[in-house]
Amino acid sequence: MTVALREAVNAFRRAPMLSALSVTTIAFSLFAFGLFGLVALNIRDALGRIEDRVEIRAFLADRTPVEAAAAALGDIQAFPEVASASLVTPAQALDRARQELGEFSDVFDAAILPASIDVKLKPGSRDPASVRTVAQRIRTYDFIEDVRFGEEWIEKLYQIRNVATLAGTVLGLTFAIVAVIIIGSTIRMAVLARSREIAIMRVVGATDGFIRRPFLIEGAIKGALGGVAALLLTWATNEVIVRYVFAAAFFNLRLSLLGILAGALIGLVGSAFSVGRHLKHV
């Protein structure tokens, strides 16, 4: 292993230009993928924030006994899909309406706003079907006069989300495949540049595993370096967007490390593929 590691490191020293070219190519391929990832991340965050607003409001009939409302509230809070539920009195409803619709505050009167149970749902239970199921369950209480949850709005939100997920998956896969092809070609160049060395290694009795190992390590190092460079480029781009265009989220530490690891993995797999193909044909 130490020989393989030394040979991999020496490969950078012996062919610095080719190594720099490989790392740069990998960096730009991953940068394109990183930019796509950034867009996908921000779309997901934006949709997530909108999803947070998904809420069911169950209006209570006039003169519903407080005990009955409290019992129902306890039941609803125990629903598996429910994150939280709260009882809103007519006075609280009036306050909220005045806050939310300040310019029309003078037209509100406590008498026209009923009490309600406001239900927030857990992430994963905010799709139209789950919301509808919870709403129907709440409707079974006979003192519930009406249940509202903006059915049409939720349907549309989920349509957008599904389209975004599908487009994101297709585009992401395309970007990943293009990155793998470009990185594979770059590594193939490095392998071809050392075909003489490989031939000599074989003549002196090197096993394919011995020949392959330094290339795999070299590929993984190049991939990781390319990943770090791509991350820095993506970060710089994000900083420019945040400063001059709009606030955008960036990858957290886990995703950043995952990106570098993906670079190393692509480098490793690309190398394995290129060297394997080369060894089969010489």
Partner 1 sequence: MSNPHDGGGTVIRFTRVRKEYARTGVALDDISLAIGKGEFVFLTGPSGAGKSTILKLVFAEERPTAGEVKVASVSSAALRARDVARLRRKLGIVFQDFRLLEDRTVEANVGFALEVTGAPRASIAPRVSRLLTQVGLASKGSSLPRELSGGEQQRVAIARALVNDPLVLIADEPTGNLDERATRGVFELLRDINAAGTAVMMATHDLDLVKRSDCRTIEINHGRLVYDSGEGPSRGDGQ
User: Please, what is the minimum distance in Å from the beta carbon of residue 189 to partner 1?
Assistant: 18
- Closer residue to partner 1 (CB): 7 or 127: 7
Residues lying near partner 1 in the complex (CB under 8 A) = 3, 14, 196-197, 199-208, 210
User: Please, what is the minimum distance in Å from the beta carbon of residue 193 to partner 1?
Assistant: 12
- Closer residue to partner 1 (CB): 211 or 269: 211
Q: Do 71 and 141 contact (CB within 8 A), yes or no? A: no
- Closer residue to partner 1 (CB): 203 or 247: 203
User: Please, what is the minimum distance in Å from the beta carbon of residue 202 to partner 1?
Assistant: 8
Q: Do 226 and 179 contact (CB within 8 A), yes or no? A: no
Q: Name the residue type at position 146.
A: D
- Closer residue to partner 1 (CB): 80 or 205: 205
Q: Name the residue type at position 205.
A: G
User: Please, what is the minimum distance in Å from the beta carbon of residue 14 to partner 1?
Assistant: 5
- Closer residue to partner 1 (CB): 4 or 147: 4
Cβ-based burial of 247 (10 A; exposed 0-12, middle 13-18, buried ≥19): exposed
User: Please, what is the minimum distance in Å from the beta carbon of residue 210 to partner 1?
Assistant: 6
H/E stretch holding 170 reads helix 151-193
Q: 20-56 burial string, b = 16+ CB within 10 Å, else e?
A: eebbebbbbbbbbbbbbbbebbbbeeebeeebeebeb
Q: Name the residue type at position 250.
A: F
What single-letter DSSP state applies at residue 125?
S
